[in-house]
Amino acid sequence: MEEIIEQLRELNEPVPVPLELPDDDLLVAIEEELLINLPFELREFLLKVSDVVYGRLEPVTVTDPQSHTYLPEVAANAWDAGVPRDLLPICQDGEDYYVVDIENQVLLWSGDEENLTDKVWDSVWHWVRDVWLES
């Protein structure tokens, strides 16, 4: 995990208005808004690297409610599209959503098929390495 975080920090693209990292209090507020607990690795991801901008994929963020990557908004859209309510999106890719379950596994939900695919990553960090960093 530390190697992945280090790699993301090196690849972070400069932007006119950089994102901020959240604190634990903000994540508790987000959980209350979503009415669901954040899986441990998603929480860790948000606390450590949700300010990173890299590649074409844009993972969820929690510090700017006006952002198109704001987790409560992305989650509401995902759930409206048919993603099961017990899964939280980590990233939207077109009509598809990468979602994380309570065991920290990341799954791919297909907007075309309106169902989960057979693509699974063992953890948020495996998804970051295999999908986000490769995008």
User: What structural domains does the chain harbor?
Assistant: 2-132 (3.40.1580.10)
The answer to whether the predicted template modeling score (pTM) of the entire model surpasses 0.85 is yes
Distance of alpha carbon 95 from alpha carbon 78, whole angstroms: 9
Distance of alpha carbon 107 from alpha carbon 22, whole angstroms: 24
Average pLDDT over every residue of 4-23:
94
Band (135; pLDDT cuts 50, 70, 90):
confident
Q: In this predicted model, what pLDDT tens digit does every residue of 33-83 receive, in sequence order? A: 999 999 999 999 999 999 999 999 999 999 999 999 999 999 999 999 999
Amino acid identity of 47? Answer: L
Burial of 85 (0-12, 13-18, 19+ CB in 10 A): exposed
Question: Which residue shows structure tokens 């950089």?
Answer: 18
Dihedral pair phi/psi, residue 125, rounded to 5°:
-70, -35
